[in-house]
Each structure stands twice: as C-alpha cells, then as structure tokens.
A and B are shown apart, each in its own frame.
Chain A
Amino acid sequence: NAGVTQTPKFRVLKTGQSMTLLCAQDMNHEYMYWYRQDPGMGLRLIHYSVGEGTTAKGEVPDGYNVSRLKKQNFLLGLESAAPSQTSVYFCASSYRAVYRKLFFGSGTQLSVL
C-alpha cells in the first residue's frame, strides 16, 4: 500500500518549457488536490478534483492545468514554466466525507531558471 505517490521528486526547467507532474493514489479516494508551498506562505491550493473527469480551480490556478482521467491519477501541467512557479508541489487525496483526512505525497521540488 503505497499511499500517495508523486513523480518526479525533483525537476529543473528553463523558462518557457513545459512539464507534467503525476500524482497516483491507491486508496480509492474520490478527492484529489494539488498544492504549492513557498517559504512563509503555507500551502496554497492550485486545483482540486472531486471525482474522475472533474476538476475545479483553487486559489492560485493561473499557469497550471490539470486532468483526472482515472480515479487514481491527478496530473498537474505547466504549459510554459515561469520562475514564479519555482516551488514545492504537494499532491493530496482524501475520501469524500465531511470528516476527511488529507493524505499528502512526499512532494516535488521544481526549479524554473
């Protein structure tokens, strides 16, 4: 039982390049989330999904796109990376319940030069 797995763990991009971060969970969770964490700013919600085929915007969605084609996977895409997107990205998942515990992945350190 792996929980929430994020790939890759580290990545360096040049400005303008694109990439996709993959999040996979094996707990049959309905909800999935993408957060970014910057020093002194806590966790900010980028996008989230309440089920397969559905996505919604969070607090800071600009510059990112997401897809949830399969229940267990939630992809975060950067079409044209900018230095402001240098951050640690966390994926999380939870059951669809009012008392829900978010399980976080180990994070992806992304640097955009």
Chain B
Amino acid sequence: QQPVQSPQAVILREGEDAVINCSSSKALYSVHWYRQKHGEAPVFLMILLKGGEQKGHEKISASFNEKKQQSSLYLTASQLSYSGTYFCGTEISWEETSGSRLTFGEGTQLTVNP
C-alpha cells in the first residue's frame, strides 16, 4: 500500500528548514528516501531500517518511528540545489532471496528560492 507524504508541496527561502513526512498504515521494515529533479531520474538519499538509528548528513537527515509507522526527512539551512521532488519508499518486509516490493509515495515538491 502506497505511503502518504505530507506536505504535497513546500516553498522555502534559501537558508530555511523543512520537514517532509511519510506515513504508512502498515508496520514497516524500512523507509527509503529519494530526490528527483525535473526531467531527471530519482537519486538515492538514505535508507532507514527498523531498529536503526537516525541517518543522514549534517544538513539532510531522517528519522524512523517504528511505532507510528512514520518517517521524517529534515532539510536544514536549505540550499538552491535542494529543490526537487522528494519521495519516500517503504517496504513491509525484506528477504535476500525473495526481494521486496518497495512502494513509493506520491512525492513532495520542494522549491527553494534565493
């Protein structure tokens, strides 16, 4: 089942912070985050596993609340290059030999203006 992302769109000025949320109605094994710029392919940002720690770099990080089946992506001191559509992908289980069905949300369009 497709995860739900919020907000659908956000507009920031350079240097401002943003939070993008991803929630699921099912218990999750992992959450994946990708960014896609217009006309380009999605690019991997990070993956969070059940029981894992908050991941990320200094300015882009994410958390995973297993009890609430929610993940949040934090963008701090945004830069113009952060503009794009952010997708979360979720999977309810994973096994090495059977793979998984990584299901993506509808995306959050982030615009960073000067």
Interface residues of B in 80-100 (CB under 8 A from A): 87, 89, 94, 96-99
Also in contact, A58 and B87, with CB within 8 A (given A99-B47, A101-B44) = no
Per-residue 0/1 for A60-102: is the Cβ within 8 Å of any B Cβ (1 yes, 0 no)? 0000000000000000000000000000001000001111111
Within 8 A of B (CB), among A33-61: 33, 35, 40-45, 48-50, 56, 58-59
Given A48-B101, A59-B101, A90-B42, are A41 and B47 neighbors across the interface (CB < 8 Å)? no
Question: Is B94 touching A98 in the complex (CB atoms < 8 A)?
Answer: yes
Residues in chain B near residue A43, CB distance under 8 A = 42, 87, 89, 104
Interface residues of B (CB under 8 A from A): 2, 30, 32, 34, 40-44, 47, 49, 87, 89, 94, 96-99, 101-107
Nearest CB on B from A3, distance (A): 10
Interface size on A, residues (CB 8 A): 28
A-B contact count (CB 8 A): 59
Taking CB as reference atom, which chain A residue is nearest B106?
A: A42
A45 near B103: Cβ-Cβ < 8 Å: yes
Asked whether A106 is an interface residue with its Cβ less than 8 Å from the other chain, the reply is yes
The reply to whether A107 and B47 contact each other, CB–CB distance below 8 Å, is no
Give complex CA distance A44, B103 in Å.
Answer: 7
A-chain residues with CB within 8 Å of residue B30 when the two chains form the complex: 98
Q: Please, which residues of chain A bring their CB within 8 A of the CB of B107?
A: 42
**Known pairs A50-B99, A102-B34, A107-B41. 13 more at Cβ < 8 A?**
A35-B104, A42-B2, A43-B104, A44-B104, A45-B104, A48-B99, A56-B99, A90-B42, A97-B96, A98-B94, A102-B102, A104-B41, A106-B41
The one of B34, B101, B102, B106 in contact with A40, judged by C-beta atoms closer than 8 angstroms, is B106
Asked whether A99 lies within 8 Å of B49 as measured between CB atoms, the reply is yes
List 5 A–B pairs whose Cβ atoms lie within 8 Å, in order of A's numbering: A42-B2, A42-B107, A49-B99, A103-B44, A107-B41
- What separation, in Å, do the CA atoms of A35 and B94 have in the docked complex? 19
